[in-house]
């Protein structure tokens, strides 16, 4: 089976019951995405698929063949950090770091959701073309990523600083065909 991970093609044979998280960690040795709960409750395993965030512990790897999979290793690297990674360092957005790759992947996708006009539970106008990164939107949209160290203040500051320029589109979203 063929996968595209962090921009590289990978061909693998594996048990079709394998989760995407296990494929990334056990077969591809990409240890950035973490196994916290392994049941969709903590967000530690968050990765991007075609730019959208998913919990890779709940995803069967076979469903993601030929899709663009991005892990924290594909977002930035030592010496060439993603701006959000640099902001996490600057704002003390982590302590043990276990949740951090998931937090960062999740926030990167969240910023795109705001621009695309994907509403959240706290959005007042669900038909708006885009949303601003308010404190309420940020906290609601990141609520699927838990941090057992309680580094939330730094996490929020880092995300806010990095994506402060995210401005909502004006107008309404086009109705789906
Ligand atoms: S390990 Fe996937 S959500 Fe917790
Ligand atoms: S930094 Fe330790 S769980 Fe978040």
Mean pLDDT of 31-41: 98
- Whether 158 lines ligand 2, by a CB cut-off of 6 Å, is no
**Range of weakest confidence among 13-27, 99-113, 160-174:** 160-174
Average pLDDT, the chain: 94
Instruction: Give kind and range of the element (H or E) at residue 93.
Output: none
Strands 46-49 and 52-55, sheet pairing? antiparallel
- In this predicted structure, what is the pLDDT of residue 170? 64
Nearest one of 96, 81, 67 to 2, comparing CA atoms: 67
Alpha-carbon 122 to chain mean position: 20
Percent of the chain's residues with pLDDT above 70? 93
- In this predicted structure, what is the pLDDT of residue 177? 45
- Residue 166, pLDDT > 80, answer no
Tell me how far apart the alpha carbons of residues 136 and 156 are, in angstroms, rounded to a whole number.
11
Which among 103, 107, 148, 159 is the best mutation to test ligand 2's pocket, defined by most ligand atoms within 8 Å of the CB?
148
Which among 26, 32, 36, 53 is the best mutation to test ligand 1's pocket, defined by most ligand atoms within 8 Å of the CB?
36
- Whether 44 lines ligand 2, by a CB cut-off of 6 Å, is no
Tell me how far apart the alpha carbons of residues 37 and 55 are, in angstroms, rounded to a whole number.
11
- Whether 94 lines ligand 2, by a CB cut-off of 6 Å, is yes
Instruction: State the distance from the centre of ligand 2 to the C-alpha of 134, rounded, in angstroms.
Output: 23
Tell me: the pLDDT tens digits for 79-135?
999 999 999 999 999 999 999 999 999 999 999 999 999 999 999 999 999 999 999
- In this predicted structure, what is the pLDDT of residue 169? 60
Percent of the chain's residues with pLDDT above 90? 92
- Whether 152 lines ligand 2, by a CB cut-off of 6 Å, is no
- Whether 104 lines ligand 2, by a CB cut-off of 6 Å, is no
């Amino acid at each position: 089976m063929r996968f595209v991970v962090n921009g590289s093609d990978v061909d693998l044979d594996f048990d079709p019951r394998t989760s995407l998280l296990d494929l990334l960690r056990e077969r591809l040795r990409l240890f950035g995405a973490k196994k916290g709960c392994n049941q969709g409750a903590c967000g530690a395993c968050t990765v991007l698929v075609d730019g959208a965030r998913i919990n890779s512990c709940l995803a069967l790897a076979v469903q993601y063949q030929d899709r663009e999979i991005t892990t924290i290793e594909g977002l930035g690297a030592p010496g060439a950090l993603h701006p959000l990674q640099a902001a996490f360092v600057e704002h003390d957005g982590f302590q043990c770091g276990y949740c951090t790759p998931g937090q960062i992947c999740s926030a990167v996708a969240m910023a795109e959701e705001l621009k695309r006009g994907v509403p959240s539970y706290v959005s007042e106008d669900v038909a708006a073309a885009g949303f601003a990164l308010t404190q309420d939107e940020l906290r609601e949209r990141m609520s699927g990523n838990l941090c057992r160290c309680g580094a939330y203040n730094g996490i929020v500051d880092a995300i806010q600083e990095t994506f402060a320029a995210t401005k909502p589109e004006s107008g309404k979203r086009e109705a789906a065909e």
